Amino acid sequence: KSETENYKIGFSQCISKDDWRKAMDHEMEVEASLYTEIELSIFQAHEDIEVQKSQIEFMIENEFDVIIISPLRPEPLVALVERAYDKGIPVIIVDRKIKSQKFTAFVGANNLDVGRNAAKYIASLNEKQSNILEIKGGDNSSPVIERHLGFHEIVYQEANMSVVESIRDNEIQTRIPQIIDSISVNPINYVFAFNDNIAYDAWKIAKSKGVEESIKFIGVDGLNGENNGIQLVENGVLAATILYPTGGDEAIKIAMKILRNENVLKDNILNTTVIDFRNAEIMNDQYDRINKHQKDIESQQKKIIEQEETFSTQSNILKLLVGL
Ligand code: FRU
């Protein structure tokens, strides 16, 4: 690269609509803004696998220096990811996995542990009998598969825990009222939903049936902000949420290491933990600090740009004055 040319990092984001995805994008933008030598482009695939494919093709054709992908599903992108990798373009996979080992680095939390943590949390409450409704995400992405496996692995070991129903998030409006009405002998006393939004929707349905007090709801993600996981725990809507970090800033850090020819690990596994009433406030404070840092960085950068603009106008005036 010449001194004036920037490195091009492209990110193909599979889903755009929820706060967790927005947080991932934002983390990437803030982290990328710390390095003057890179230019980050974020492409939104809006849950359309064909769109995501064309974004990866675009990045390959336009010789991006690093390609970051959060893949919608594990199989359909394999050929393209392998094409990029074989061409020598570093590929970083975030959050969801693909069915290939031909990529440079993966960054994300271990979703088996996410499922295990949810089940261990229920086990730790020592109920005589825990009847669980599992609400999976709507697709067969790796987090859905792995959260399910991890959760069932622990439930299987606990004599007093059982998953009485397992449904998908798109079935909740019809199925939850039916389940509540039909199971009268051993009613559901836990809901494990694969993200906080689903858990909150399930809680609303239970509330409309007047049974929300007798069920403990557990979600995943643990974001801060209005009606997100941490606040829902603080409000007592959720009993717990399992923290699922987005990996946005780590992905950019890894991309920088690659561009600087430093060694990177293939698997970069982020920590997950249980957030319940005991630590929700601390987690919230931590997020507030991070957000404040991010805002400080953004406002400093704005000032730098303003100063640069003032400087260039001033030097233009100066040039005019001295007749250059
Ligand atoms: C957001 C989301 C999160 C979840 C992740 C899994 O789009 O559904 O709630 O933890 O994706 O990939």
E-strand ranges in the chain read 7-13, 38-44, 66-70, 91-94, 105-109, 130-136, 161-168, 190-193, 216-221, 240-243, 267-270, 274-276
Check pocket membership of 27 for ligand 1, CB cut-off 6 A.
Answer: no
**Ligand 1 atom with minimal separation from the 17 CA:** 7
In whole angstroms, what is the distance from residue 200 CA to residue 241 CA?
11
**Using an 8 Å Cβ cutoff, are 177 and 211 in contact?**
no
CA of 137 to the centre of ligand 1 (A): 8
In whole angstroms, what is the distance from residue 189 CA to residue 89 CA?
50
CA of 20 to the centre of ligand 1 (A): 7
CA of 1 to the centre of ligand 1 (A): 36
Residue type, 195: N
- Taking only the tens place, the pLDDT of each residue in 8-25 is 999 999 999 999 999 999
CA of 144 to the centre of ligand 1 (A): 9
**Ligand 1 atom with minimal separation from the 141 CA:** 12
CA of 59 to the centre of ligand 1 (A): 24
CA of 85 to the centre of ligand 1 (A): 25
Check pocket membership of 18 for ligand 1, CB cut-off 6 A.
Answer: yes
**Using an 8 Å Cβ cutoff, are 133 and 188 in contact?**
yes
- HSE-CB at 4 with a 13 A cutoff on CA atoms is 0
Q: What is 239-288 written as a DSSP string?
A: SEEEE----HHHHHHHHHHHHTT----SEEEEP--EEETTTHHHHHHHHH
**Ligand 1 atom with minimal separation from the 15 CA:** 7
Residue type, 299: S
Could you tell me the CA-to-CA distances from 206 to 64, 185, 190, 236 in Å, in that order?
Answer: 48, 17, 11, 14
- Taking only the tens place, the pLDDT of each residue in 160-218 is 999 999 999 999 999 999 998 887 667 899 999 999 999 999 999 999 999 999 999 99
Predicted TM-score (pTM) of this structure: 0.91
**Ligand 1 atom with minimal separation from the 220 CA:** 10
C-alpha radius of gyration, the chain, whole number: 23
User: Residue 255: which of 20, 42, 15, 58 has the closest Cα?
Assistant: 42
- Taking only the tens place, the pLDDT of each residue in 22-74 is 999 999 999 999 999 999 999 999 999 999 999 999 999 999 999 999 999 99
Instruction: Say what the pLDDT of residue 186 is.
Output: 72
